[in-house]
Each structure stands twice: as structure tokens, then as C-alpha cells.
Amino acid sequence: MLSSAQTPRFLLLHSRFPHKLLHFQTPKSLHTFQTQAQILSPSPPTSQILTIRESLLSRSTTAVELASNYLHHLRRTEPHLNSFLHISDTVLKEAEEIDRKIQNNEEVGPLAGVLVGVKDNICTVDMPSTAGSRALENYRPPFDATAVRKLRECGAIVVGKTNLDEFGMGSTTEGSAYQVTANPWDLSRVPGGSSGGSAAAVSARQCIVSLGSDTGGSVRQPASFCGVVGLKPTYGRVSRYGLVAYASSLDVIGCFGSSVADTGILLNVISGHDRHDATSSKREVPNFTFQSISPDSIESKPLRGLRVGIIRETLQEGVDSEVISSIRDAASHLEELGCSLTEVSLPSFSLGLPAYYILATSESSSNLSRYDGVRYGNQAVADVLNSLYGDSRAKGLGSEVKMRILMGTYALSAGYYDAYYKRAQKVRTLVQKSFKTALDENDILISPAAPSAAYKIGEKKSDPLAMYAGDIMTVNINLAGLPALVLPCGLVQGGSAGLPVGIQMIGAAFDEEKLLKVGHIFEQTLQGCCFVPPLVADGFAC
């Protein structure tokens, strides 16, 4: 069984110079890619962002060289992955401007030269923002989302817009109106959703980091399926201005990276209060960047005294045995680092899934009413106003979106509001209280990020209830508004080289700093392993 996070066959070394390893050798058939994992010397994941900055400032490479290499790799892998809906045509021009500033000894931002993928439901002024829907085909916003604006101000280059389930409604990225994204670990499998394009792009090294959105697990589940780090911040930590709304009380913008350090740096840049978003927090933003810890520190038990609660309900029936084994192995590793581990019960945990789908669909029925062909969305040709509305929505919106709108409208309708929506809000309060009680007694909680590893494309498309059930590990955290970090902890059987499994670490509200610290130490002390999919293993040692 391949459930152990320390199975040597799958340990891949992390290069200290990722920019020098972007001269990929693409085989004749990516479908026959085989992982050639070798352990030369233990070396944990390092920050690509910091390495790139050091290389640019020391002038050992240029932003144009870096961008050219990534674009070359992106174009060769993209036909097999379909991670992106749009590729920017100004990447090299922006890279040239960074090189000019460095040449003239001008100050450049902390993300200078870093290529970022942005989920296509986050507005960008210079590229279409379709939210994966035909209703917004070719829509170009007149502004950048606040998170995107902050990235650009720090020197980041938006390489393109990533694929997603339409309006964020889905768990596989099969719900996109344009294309289906494949998982870099096995091209016959889904990358997760709805931020599957952003997760797959980072996993396949098509970009360095990426932004996604998380309403009920849309950052964390794809991170687990694709073997990357995914962070859902506390609700209000990052401005939602410029994020196409699905369920406004649940939506957050989250981060993907190939290391915890890079994810923290990305969060550091996009966090903070925004006058355009009344729900954004005015709390002071701590510094989410930190120095790498030496793997040798495991001898000193760097997490001594940390109280970790493993959620009992997440390791019961309905969860794959290999996933449970991987999470228990990860919990044992935390104990080796000095943590005290206890089992925690959240009695309301199973109630979160139905409550989430009532609340999310109810909010979506309101939010998506604007796509009527008049206010927003492509307009159908009709002689009568009601026909114009109906035809525009019928042609512009996909089947999953229509179904969720109808579900939400039903839950909010007269005679059913108290039975469904009001009761779901009461359950949400119970979920919040149960998490508060558990986190009063523990510093963090842990669970799987999904009940299984990535499944086959099309396997659950005809069974929406089974797909919805896959969100059970993540939706409660959105209902409670808490932060959660997912990072790879092991591999299970599947594909040519195994499939990644992610551990989910849950913290108290606005305690991302602790999650990132624990995740970083966990990652750095896991025998120097990191996760590179077969798609890029040859010619790109980790």
C-alpha cells in the first residue's frame, strides 16, 4: 500500500535553483510519462519566490529569461492539461520592464518576476474574466480585483486566467463552459474544483503561484488532488472586491504554491482592509513570511507543546482507507515534532454539508439574478422583455448553475424559508460554536482535505449527490469562517506514480500565522520530500 508519506519511491528532491530547471524535455507522449524519482541528498522545498528574487537582484538570470522558460513550458503542457482559459500577451513586456528597473538600480517589488495564475472569476482589467461561463464570454472588466492590483503593485506578472467550474459551482472543473482540466498526476483524472485550473497550473509548474477562490473547499480540495499547498484565509482577511460572487457570506480568495513559504508570501501581499469591501477586516495583518527552518531541528522538537486535535468524524466510514492511513501517518509525524495529539469530536460536523448547500444555493440565486442579459451577461435576441431575460439566462448559464439557482430559489420561497434557510442558519451557528469549543482546547485541528484522492474524469458527473458529498471535509470551515491550510502528506495507489493526499490544518479565526508556521515545519521535516507529478518529473527534479 502506498499510503505512507515517506515511501522512498516517491521522494523527489527540491532544487535550490528552480529557474535553471525550466528547460523541459517533453516526451513524445505525455500519457506514458513515468516518474524517475531518485534521492540524491535530502533537501526540503524552498521558496521559489525568494530564489527568483535573489537570482534577479544578483543578475544571474533575467525576468525575461525566466518568463520565456515558463511560457515555453506552459505552451507545451497546456494542450494536455487545459489549465488556462486565457494567456496574457504582455508577459514578456512586463518582464522587460522589471529587467530595466533592475538594470537601472531601481527598486522592484517583492514579487518581481513571479508569474501568477489567476482564477477566471477574479477580475483582471487586461484579460477576459468569464467565471467559466458563456454568460460572461469575452467580458473584460474595467478594473482589477483588489488582490490582483496588490500583486501587480508588488511586481508580479499575471500569466493568465485559469479554468474553473462555472461561477465556482463544482468540485471537478468539469463544470466549465469551455474545457475540462486534467490532473497533472494522471491526465485521466480530475484536478478538483472549482479552482482546479489554478491548482493544476502550480502542480505542473506552469506558473509559480496562483490565486483561487474558496466557497466550500474550492482551494483546499484541488490542492489535495494536485499535490500542492492551498490556503483558505479567514473570511475577511482578503478583500473580495473583484471576485465574481457565488455565495457572499462564504466566498474567500485563497492561495496556491508549491511550498508553504510561497503561499505565505502570497497571502502577505493580498491581505488587508479594503474600502471597496465592507466585509474585509480592519485587523492588522501580521507578517506571514518567515525564514526556512532546518530539517535538523526535528531533533529539538520544534512544535513541542502544540495541541493538535484530529477530528474523529473525518476518519470514519465513507473515507478511503488509504487516505485515513496517510492522515494518521501525518499525525504521527506531528507527534514526532513535539505536538500532543488528541481525538476531537464535532457533533455537528455531519450537519454542515446540507446546511452549506442550502445557504450557498440561496445566496447564489440572489447573486446570479444580475446575469439577465441587461445588467450583465451576453444578451439573447428577443422581441419581448421576459423572453430576453429567459433566453439570455437559458443560453448563458450551464445546467449545474441553473440547478443551484433553482434549489436556492426554492429554499427562499414563501412557505419554505423557515424550514430550510432559517434552519440552515441555525446549523451554521452550531458549527461555529463546535469549532470554537474545539479550538479553545487545541491550537489546531487536522483532517483529510477530501474523502479520497483524485477520481476519474466523468466518474461523478452523472451523480451530483456523490460529488457534493466529497465536500464534507471542507464546507464546515467556510460556515465557521475559519482559516485552513492544506499541504501534501502522502501518496496512495493510482495512476503511474501514485496520487497525492493532502492534510488539512484548521486554525482559529485570523490565526493564519500559526497554521503557516506549523505547515512549514511539517513540510521541511518530512524527509526532504516534495511532490512533482509525472507530467514534469523527467527534466524537472524537485
Q: Which residues are catalytic?
A: 119, 194, 218
The DSSP symbol for 319 reads: S
**What is the distance between the alpha carbons of residues 266 and 264, in angstroms, rounded to a whole number?**
5
Residues β-bridged to residue 162: 84, 119
**What is the distance between the alpha carbons of residues 331 and 299, in angstroms, rounded to a whole number?**
17
Task: DSSP for 255-286, please give it.
Answer: EEESSHHHHHHHHHHHBS--TT-TTS--SPPP
Sequence-distant (≥ 6) Cβ neighbours of residue 87 within 8 angstroms: 71, 74, 159, 160
- Return the residue matching grid coordinates 517583492: 110
**What is the distance between the alpha carbons of residues 529 and 45, in angstroms, rounded to a whole number?**
7
Query: Nearest 5°: phi and psi at 125?
Result: -70, -25
Q: Kind and range of the H or E element at 315?
A: none
Residues in the chain: 542
Task: DSSP for 145-187, please give it.
Answer: -HHHHHHHHTT-EEEEEE--SGGG--SSSTT-SS--PPBTTBT
Query: Nearest 5°: phi and psi at 232?
Result: -100, 115
**What is the distance between the alpha carbons of residues 137 and 152, in angstroms, rounded to a whole number?**
24
Cα distances (angstroms) measured from residue 1 to each of 191, 321, 330, 424: 22, 10, 16, 40
- Return the residue matching grid coordinates 474523502: 451
Q: Is the peptide bond before 194 cis (omega within 30 degrees of 0)?
A: yes
Cell reading at 226: 494536485
Sequence-distant (≥ 6) Cβ neighbours of residue 34 within 8 angstroms: 496, 497, 534, 537, 538
Report the chain's terminal Cα–Cα distance, integer Å: 23
The DSSP symbol for 41 reads: S
Q: Is the peptide bond before 249 cis (omega within 30 degrees of 0)?
A: no
**What is the distance between the alpha carbons of residues 224 and 486, in angstroms, rounded to a whole number?**
7
Q: Are 39 and 13 in contact (CB under 8 A)?
A: yes
The DSSP symbol for 419 reads: I
Sequence-distant (≥ 6) Cβ neighbours of residue 477 within 8 angstroms: 217, 232, 435, 483, 484, 504, 506
**What is the distance between the alpha carbons of residues 419 and 382, in angstroms, rounded to a whole number?**
38
**What is the distance between the alpha carbons of residues 529 and 517, in angstroms, rounded to a whole number?**
18
- Taking the CA atoms of the chain, what radius of gyration do you get in angstroms? 22
